[in-house]
Structures are given as C-alpha cells and as structure tokens.
Structure 1
Amino acid sequence: MDSLQLYSVARCLEESFAGQMLRGTEVQQGVAILYFPRGRLYLAYQRTPVGLFWADALAQVPKPAGSAAILGQKLRGFRLVSLELPWADRILRLRFAQTGLDRQEKSWSLLAECFGARGAILLLDDEERIHWASRWDTLEQDPARILPQASYQPPPKTQSWEDLPSPLLLLHPKQRERFGDAALEQIAALLQGPSCQPWWQGGVGTEPYPLWFDGEAVAIPIAEAVRWRAPAARVQRGQQTASAVGVREQEALRLRRRQQRLREDLAKWQDARTEEARRHAAALFASPDRVHSGGILLLPEYRSDGVGEIELAIPVGKYLHAYAQELMRRAQRAERARQRIGDELARVDAALRRLPEQDIAPGIATGSSDKPRSRRPVGIEEREVDGFNILWGKNARANDYLSFRLGQPHDLWLHVQDLHGSHVLIRRQNPQQGVPAEVLRQAAEIALQHSASQSLSAEVDWTELRNVSRHPQGGAGRVLYRRFQTLRVRRPGSTRN
C-alpha cells in the first residue's frame, strides 16, 4: 500500500474498530496483530504486502510471547480511539485511551512505520516518548531515531500533508504514469468523500486503487479489498525442505553439546573443596564458640584413626560457629547443584538413546526435558483479605513473573518507596471494582514487611499494574512506574510512641 491507500483503509476500518477494547496482541515475522472483539487488525510493516488489513475475530486469543507480551501488558484494557495518518507517508498511528480509577484519561499511541524492510512498530506515551519498539537503533546509527525513552521523530524525508506539492506523489510509482492532471480532482474527491467507497481494480497491474482506471475495472468495497490473506511462503530455486534425517542429526548435535556442558558443570561442583568444607565445619562446631582475631587457627580433627590437626584461615571478627554455618551452606549448595545437574544429565542421556527411534518432523526439536517451559516460579505467596487475593514475590524472578506474567492491567500494584522489596498485587475482577481501605492497608504492610526497610514505618507507593513497566537497563524485578499514590503504614504489632 502507498500512503493514499493507507489513508483510505484507515478511514474505512476506523468505523468498525473505533471504541473497541483491545483483547490481546501478537507480533510475528514483521506483522503486528491486534485482537478486538469484532475482528483482528494486521499491521504489516516489514513484509509483503505492507499496510493495514483486517480479519474475522478468533474465539480464543492466543497467549502472547516474547516482546508481544510486553506490548499486550501495556495496551490490554485500552480502547481504540482513532486510526490516523499524521504525515504524508506510510506512517499509521493508532490511538488508545482508558479512564482510570482517578477518572483521569490515560492514552497510548501505537505507531506503525510501514516501510517494508525498514519498518517498525513503536509504542508512545502522552509525551511522544518511546516505551516499546519492534526494533531498536544503536547510538552509532545516523540518525538514531528509535531509542528507549527518546522522543519520537519521523524519518528526515517525511513530509506533512500541507507541504506535499501534489497528492499524485502519494501514488505508487508504477501507477503514477497512468494519471494526469485530471486525477487530482478524483483524489480530492477521495479524501473528502465516503470513507468506505469502493476500490477499483485496474486491468493492468495488481495494486488496487480507490481511483478510476482506464479500461475494464471492477468495483470492490474497501472493507473486502483489505481482508488479510497470509502471503504464500517463497521457496528459492533448488531449495529443499530438510529431511527427517538431517533434523535428527541437528538434534543429536544439540543434545551432545548440552551433555558436554552439563558434565563440565558437574565436575566444577564435585571439587574436593566441597568435602573439605564439611570437615572444617565439623571441626569448628567441636570447638568452643568465640570471636577470632583473624589468621590461621589450629583445630583438632577427630577421625577413626586418631586425632589429627587442621589449619584453617578464619576471617577477622568472625564467630567460629557462624563461620562453620557458612561452610555448611556452601557444601549444601554444592550438593543441591550436583543433584540438579545429575538429573538433567540423565534426561539428556535418555533423549539421546531415544532419538534414533523417534519420528521428527523437519524444523521441530524434541527438547531434552519433559517439563513445561513456562511455569510459575518458586517464591510467590498469597493471602486472602476480605474476599481479595493479595500476592507478593519473595525474589527478583518471582517479582518479575508476578508483575508481567500473572497480573492483569487493572490489578493494584504496591511497592515500598525507594527501597528494594517485594512486588505486591491486589487482584481485582474488573477496572471498576473498588478496593476497601483495610485491604489496601494490609497489602501495604506486606510490602513493608518484605522490603529492605529496617524502620517501623515507611511510605508505600501503589498504582494500577498498567502503569508499571520493566526498567530498560534493569534485570529481573526492576521496574519503572508512574501515576501512583502513596500510603504510609507501620509494621504489624508496632506501637506508636
């Protein structure tokens, strides 16, 4: 599609999709799919055909994966307001809005640069800052337009509608030769006429246009002309699908590499120093507990063949029994690691033995484990208060899963202010459901209890989960949030002075 086609399609499809709530998103091979109750919108920005299309709705929206999960988390529950072409180029803007608990309107803009290989999808906030993109530029690029939290700038050659010398420049170059000055009146009528007027398919070429072609033409409504049809896969000359034998060899090579890495890890954890740690800890526990001044300590070691002596370096100011507990924890950690690695190594060995007997379809790997790839991590706890479920994470991975996989956009999210701690979530049935003050207070107390704060009281921030996003330079559990409120709470059981 060129800009003229995209403009016509946006006007037509806006009538059907404006006002609908987004149910989910999907991004695959240069196409972003937006799921609405009445249908799906396809934004094809990096493949052929490029442009905006639609298809019927699915009964069940697929679960998003990868970067689409982040996009869906931010836009879920928002309603589509408009479809616009802000510049005289193939740049499409989809505006989304929602009214929050505080009756303030929140909005996002999903920008699609439909340029083919150079295309991109970007999510912008009210101030035109980029929060998510299907591709990121590097600082070395010139120009580097698509950067985290940068203000969006269109490509340098993009023109506004007012600066466009002639609407004919919006036509596809192959079709531009077919028109003269008389086509300007038809284009002006198109821009001001009915939004879903028919398209005409010309006798020459394959691109449909909302203009009259010389010769035979067939009138097609725009809404029917832009139904999504998945393009057929292109097969290069001489290219053949991989045989099952080749796929089996690739899978065997992958399993052997995995097997080699596991054996190397197992050898590291089977170091003799692990057993030494247990011996040293036993010798320390057999001695009276005291603070050591540091340096080498001679300890008796009671063995079956008699009493020996151990030379052990003790850190300055350490209690002997406390240091013994550290040594025992090291040994126990090594034992758990050896157990996990041994179990995984056994599964890989079994997969290698079964491989010759398996029927493997080309392009599908068997995998070395029967465990599900996505499961709820350890460290998420839950409590019910007055009919509301309160959940919190006890480690970084659990916090990340709770906030970006388990929670819904309308859930309430809490965190102690300016300190490390648990992410706390109050589940709600819908955005209009009110949360009693007592439930909010108890959730804030949980956030304080499971935080790095050592004081009896602290400030706890809370907001809807839709206002929480991953930190661009952070690891698991690090977030940024906005439009929050603050509640000061005291630890349970503490008394006021």
Structure 2
Amino acid sequence: MLDGYFGVSPLLARELAFRTAGETDSRLFSLDAARKRRFWEKIVDFQGCVKENRFTPYSVWRDGKPLEFSCFPIEQYGAGAESRVYSAFSDLLDDFYESRERQERIRQRGADLVRAAANARDRLRRKLAMQEKDYAATQDRDALRLGGELITANLYRMEKGQRKLTCENYYDEGREIEILLDPLLTPQENAAKYFKRYAKAKNAERYLKEQMEIARHDAAYLESVLEEIAEAETEQDFNDIRAELKDAGFLRQKGKEKRGLQRPTKPREFRTTAGLRVLVGRNNRQNDRLTHDADRRDLWLHTQKIHGSHVILRTDGGEPDRESIVEAAILAAWYSQARESGNVPVDFTQVKNVKKPVGARPGMVIYTTCETVRVTPEEETVKRLSVK
C-alpha cells in the first residue's frame, strides 16, 4: 500500500491491515476473498471520511506515554492502550507533544543518573580489585613473623653485612630454610624489620577486610539504584533517586542547593485476588519507609539474592491466603532484576523479622527467618492486580 497508494501513511496502512485481518503485517495477496472484500470496504470507508471531512482528533497512549495521533480511531494497539479524543486538533497536538517533551526530559534525567551511578559503581569495583590484591599479599605475613623469630634465634652466629641466613626451621621438622637479610642492618635490626613488616601486614589485613566489605555493600547498593532508575516512571521518581544519591554521597550538591518541599511519590499499589493490599517500593528510601511503617504482622517479600523492590503484603493482622502470597511474590519478581527470568526465588517473612543494620545504606536490610516461593513474573498478572 505504501508504494501503490499516494497519501497512505505507515500508520494508516497498518490500521487497514489490522481491521481487515487482525494483524498489522498482513499481505493483500495472502487474504481470502472475504477478507479482500472487507479490505476494499475499509478503503471506501476511509475515502468517505476524507471526502466528507469527517475527522476526529484522536491519540493512543500506553503506560502514560504517547504512541500515535491521527484523525481517525486507532485500534491496532489493542486493549492495553488508552484512547483519547479531543475537541480540537490543537488540543491534541498540545497534549501529545507536551507529553513527548516531558518524556524526553525524563529520559535525559534518567540517562544522567545511570551514568553517575554506573561510574560510581565501576570506580568501586576497581578499588575493590586493588584492595583484594593488597589483601592477598597480607596472607603471607606468617613468613615475615617466622623470619623475625629465626633471625632472633640465630643472633649468636650472625654478624652485620650478611645477605642471607641459612638455618633450621624448627617449625618444619628442622628442614633448612634461607632468609634474606639487609647487609646494611645489624642482625637485631633485621629481626626488628621482619617483625615490623609482619605487624603492618596484620593491621593491613584487618583494615582491608573492613574496607572491602564497605566497597561490596556500596557496589551492591549502587546496583539497586540502577534497578530503581530502570523502573522510574515520572520526573518525581528521578528527583527522589537523585536526592537519595546525594544523601549517600555519590552525587555532589551544587552549591547551596535548595531541595524544596517536594512531596515524595507514593509506592505502587496493588490488590490481590482475595482483596489484600500490596505496596511496592519505587526506590531505596521508599523501601525503607514501607518496611518501617508496616505492621509487624504484615508480610515482607523480596527476591532472594537479587536486587529488587521491597514488597509489603498487608495482612490486617490475619493469616494471608496462599494465592495472595504468590501474587505478591510475582510483583516482587517483576519489580526486580529477575523480571525476564522464570522460576524466581522470592523470600517472605513477617515484617517483625526484618531489621536494618545501623549505618546501612537505604534499602539494605537483614532478615532472620523466611520461607521461599518460586514464581515466574507475568505482566498480565501485574496489570490485573494494579490499582489505578
């Protein structure tokens, strides 16, 4: 049609194909006689609209984002799309392009945050690699202590200027061992040097172990922030994440920056088939608030060892039904890095079993006991349970 008919847009060609055969990529030569008649009837209908100037300002949206606009109804996007009709074409264009510009601003802010969080994470990974290398070097420190002890035990037969000491290792059944010496130092000074290096390595091991743990936790935290950014839907979502990164020290404050009185976004809300309320955090700070504000008898759910949102299943003090637990687990799996996976393990426990360690990053918690259910994330289930 695009090649054979003047003035037919790709959108109109797809719409005619969809209304004729139920598919946007149907070929005219593949249609049976009945569908070919229907196709030509649709052509005549559109021609009539043009001749009689019967146009309607019309747009199609999905998940709050504009897809297409036209002068006729668009059916090809199915029930999952939202249709909007306007009183004037100027209203249509204002709504459509203002939203496009807003979405582009949101996309750009998201790209900036991804870059900042990913760069910080990569710096931490490089730092961690160096720390692990230094830590491995400290594991040979016992050889330094042994050197100091054997030099001390053999002082009576040593003198300044020696480059090495060959002696029996009384820790290894008297086998002979060779210890390198600094010829500019006395035997006592060589022994002291070995003991000093041993003490330094021992202290370094303790320090590096602490620093590596911090780096691992911070890298894991930034991974969770990247997951938040991928799930962000509105400009306020990005504002919340930006504020979180600034509070955590991963983004600089620009001068005397005023944060303003911005209302925090609300968590995503769902209802299980049985009518129980489910709340899903949009970012780490909201995850903390959700868990903190929940009743201690509510259920807390999270993907097992996978970054994702905190999910609260409100129980109203009762025992939730199994179907509600499974549906809440599907939401936890959907709003996680395991969205495209199957058979995802999701842990669940009462809120009273979830604790936040002192000084932990936003969204970081520990839990002492749990059960695990395996689910496959399903978009259809997520949409069905969503509270608009």
Q: TM-score, normalised by structure 2?
A: 0.31
Greater Cα radius of gyration, structure 1 or 2: 2
Q: TM-score by structure 1 length?
A: 0.24
